[in-house]
Amino acid sequence: MKSKKFTMLILIPMIVHMLIFMIIPIFSGGLISFMDYNPLREENGFVGLEHYTAMLGDKVYLKAFANTLVFVSVTVVLNIVLSLIIATLISQLQSNKTRSFFRAIIFLPCVAPLVASSVVFRRSIFPTKSGLLNMIIQFFGGDAVNWIGDANFLMISVILFTLWADIGYNTILFTAGMDGIPQDLYHAGSIDGAGRWRKFVSITLPLLGRTFSFVSVMTLISHFQMFAQFNVIAYMGGPQNSGIVLTSYIYKVAFQNKNLSYSSAIAMSLFVLILIITLIQQKINKIDWEY
């Protein structure tokens, strides 16, 4: 009985935090999306699904929705694949100090503030004339690319920056998962004549199931909500709105156009999208094994 009381006492701050900063805002945003809301008015009329039907005819919203799906699909897949490859290479190192050194190096971009890193990339890495990336391309005989001003390359620029800034976190998670796999299984594989590739496919990947499930879900959720790099690198949506996503469009509608009701409806559509994809992802990645 005492242990239950102690557990409930510990959970109370977390429940209060979730109630104030998550549950109430979600319900409030959902309610506002059905109203013609203005905080300066005493009465705010109920408009039903008017804002949701307006989204279907909003070309900017549809562009932001499509860009969001493209951005998340590409970055999540590349993030997981690259971080898994890097984690595998790090785990092959024999020295603990060497592994720790490379883990620290790959994790450093995750520590840097996202806004500050975005500004550095916009002003030092991506500029057409003086950018480091174009200097490297021109050194090897290529032509300079307008990474930010060209609608065909803006989303690629944001994806490259996001991979640089976020890949270290998943690398750490994968290396931790690999360190937890019993070495006896690899020894048994060596006795059976399995090479490195066969061990990776038959031992490492299956036993990383839970880590992979956690990484994929958390990466999906975080990438759907990314905003800072779009607001800096793809400022104001970029040319032809090629860099606008749902998060930046929500900000634009709410704080620039002063339309809180419509922005709440867009935010609810993003919430539902994340919820559906997360549930599907969890269903696909259901793991039932133990070791």
Q: What is the CA radius of gyration of the chain?
A: 23
Q: Exposed/middle/buried for 257, CB within 10 Å: 0-12, 13-18, 19+?
A: exposed
DSSP string, 228-263: HHHHHTTGGG-GGGTT--HHHHHHIIIIIS--HHHH
The reported pLDDT for the residue numbered 156 is 95
73 contact partners, CB below 8 Å, separation of at least 6: none
Q: Which tokens is 53 given?
A: 């039907």
pLDDT tens for the 291 residues of the chain, in order: 566 777 778 888 888 888 888 889 889 889 989 988 877 777 778 888 999 999 999 999 999 999 999 999 999 999 999 999 999 999 888 888 898 899 999 999 999 999 999 999 999 999 988 899 999 999 999 899 999 999 999 999 999 999 999 999 999 999 988 888 888 888 888 887 878 888 888 888 888 888 888 899 999 999 999 999 999 999 889 999 999 999 999 999 998 888 989 999 999 999 999 999 888 887 776 655 554
DSSP state of 121: I
Tokens describing residue 69: 């799906």
Sign of the C-alpha dihedral, residues 171, 177, 180, 185? Answer: negative
Burial tier of 278 (Cβ tally within 10 Å: 0-12, 13-18, 19+) = middle
CA atoms within 13 A on the CB side of 38: 8
CB neighbourhood size of 179 (10 A): 11
Set out the domains of the chain in order of their start, with CATH numbers. Answer: 58-284 (1.10.3720.10)
Q: Is the dihedral of CA 115, 118, 122, 124 positive or negative?
A: positive
Contact present, 30 and 264 (Cβ < 8 Å)? yes
